[in-house]
Amino acid sequence: MNDIRMYETMRWFGPHDATGLKDIRQAGCKGVVTALHEIPVGDAWTVEEIKKRKSLIEAEGMTWTVVESLPVSEDIKRQAGAYKTHIENYKKSLENLSACGLKVITYNFMPVLDWVRTDISYTMPTGAKALYFERLAFVAFDVFMLKRPDAVNDYTSVEIKQAEQWLAASSGQIKQQVFQNALLGLPGTMGRFTPEEVLAALKGYHEINAEKLRKHLIYFLQEIIPVAEKAGLKMAIHPDDPPYPVLGLPRIVSSEKDLNDILETVPSQANGLCYCTGSLGVRADNDLIGIIKRFGEHIHFLHLRNIRKDDTGNFYESDHLDGDADMFGIVRELLLLMKRRNISLPMRPDHGHQMLDDLRKTTYPGYSAIGRLKALAELRGLQHGLVKTL
């Protein structure tokens, strides 16, 4: 086969990131995945600000062609407040990004919380730190710490009882850590929501179920996909993390059926997917290799990470080549996909263990440098071996 390989990138959160551009370049990356995190959600990204960020990256010998993420405001998701203005600003951002040479725009449609973990420093047998989601801890947080109205209706009586037992057996420090971790803000920030902010945000979704949220997503796509098409951009929606309802909020990008509905309802090559093996892999009913085979023409960006899960809803971020996902089979299928499409898909090693010197640094959860370098090296080696045999 032609020697087509993934275009290796790493996520960078901007000038304040503990992992610098020189670090990413030394890891062997050709590109950087980033966003203008400082611009308020709902505002338009200007050409001036985009070029300023792009020039920093190019000065270090790398490129910026993938945005992660151009956030969708809560007003757009709820179709309330200033949502029409925000959609127009989103369109303007797309046009400006295209004018500056960007190619792929990642986004998600998760209400309120972008992602959820109960432990951001779960100790592995090696002493490295990983991200972990413990379902009973989250039930305890939701019902007894956050005290979300009607939360008890979303869990079984057995789960409520077990959450009470977890609460009674946990130290004050552990309970405080779970409370803080569950309220973490958007990636790229070290801020946390307050309980009052989360409860207020949840009220805005009181009348919005999965069906209505899906309609809002389709409306949004019908508005922005024609703009993306004209601008030569590829939109890549990120799956829900975790891929099931959280805090009573609907999740609509969690299963293969969800992906199919999104792609079929707004048919366009510009309407595509961010293929995340970690988020999709939390659900045992998601066929990760089958998804590549069935939706490969619409995969525009790759997040490769691995997880270990159990049948009670717990999962943690494992080593990239040692988890429930068949990374050998996944990378092999992606190489075959890229050969068929004659394209090098951008990929980043998603998340990584905090390890070695990074244990003494303050880093964004999942985004320490050395753990991601290890993941990239492993994925690069796997890819290199497969390319030589296909």
Taking only the tens place, the pLDDT of each residue in 15-36 is: 999 999 999 999 999 999 999 9
In 3D space, the residue among 182, 165, 177 whose CA is nearest the CA of residue 123 turns out to be: 177
- Of the residues 274, 350, 353, 358, only one is catalytic, namely 350
Determine the average pLDDT of the residues in 35-59: 97
276 is catalytic: yes
For 323-354, the pLDDT digits (tens) are 999 999 999 999 999 999 999 999 999 999 99
Pairing of strands 104-107, 119-123: unpaired
- Of the residues 86, 298, 300, 303, only one is catalytic, namely 303
Mean pLDDT of the chain: 96
Confidence of residue 2 (pLDDT cuts 50, 70, 90): low
Determine the average pLDDT of the residues in 78-83: 98
For 351-383, the pLDDT digits (tens) are 999 999 999 998 889 999 999 999 999 999 999
The pLDDT, as a whole number, for residue 1 is 46
Q: Is the pLDDT of residue 185 over 80?
A: no
Among 1.20.120.80, 1.10.630.10, 3.40.30.10, 3.20.20.150, name the CATH number for the domain at 7-115+200-389. 3.20.20.150
DSSP letters, 371-384, are: HHHHHHHHHHHHHH
Confidence of residue 184 (pLDDT cuts 50, 70, 90): confident
310 is catalytic: no
Instruction: Give the whole-angstrom CA distance, residue 257 versus residue 131.
Output: 27
**Segment holding 289, helix H or strand E:** helix 288-295
- Of the residues 319, 351, 353, 358, only one is catalytic, namely 351
- Of the residues 83, 258, 274, 276, only one is catalytic, namely 276
Report the length, in residues, of the chain.
390
Q: What residue spans define the domains of the chain?
A: 7-115+200-389, 119-183
- Of the residues 238, 298, 300, 353, only one is catalytic, namely 238
Reading the block at residue 386, the tokens are 């497969």
User: Pseudo-torsion of CA 171, 176, 182, 185, nearest 10°?
Assistant: -160
Q: Are 347 and 170 in contact (CB under 8 A)?
A: no
Compute CA distances 350 → 88, 103, 373, whole Å.
31, 20, 11
Determine the average pLDDT of the residues in 165-173: 96
350 is catalytic: yes
User: From the CB of residue 123, how many other CB atoms can be counted at a distance below 10 Å?
Assistant: 11
384 is catalytic: no
238 is catalytic: yes
Q: For residue 242, is the peptide bond before it cis, meaning its omega torsion is within 30 degrees of 0?
A: yes
Q: Are 29 and 376 in contact (CB under 8 A)?
A: yes
Residue 254 has φ and ψ, to the nearest 5°, of -120, -25
Residue 297 has φ and ψ, to the nearest 5°, of -65, -20
For 282-324, the pLDDT digits (tens) are 999 999 999 999 999 999 999 999 999 999 999 999 999 999 9
pTM: predicted TM-score of the whole model, two decimal places: 0.97
Q: Is the pLDDT of residue 256 over 50?
A: yes
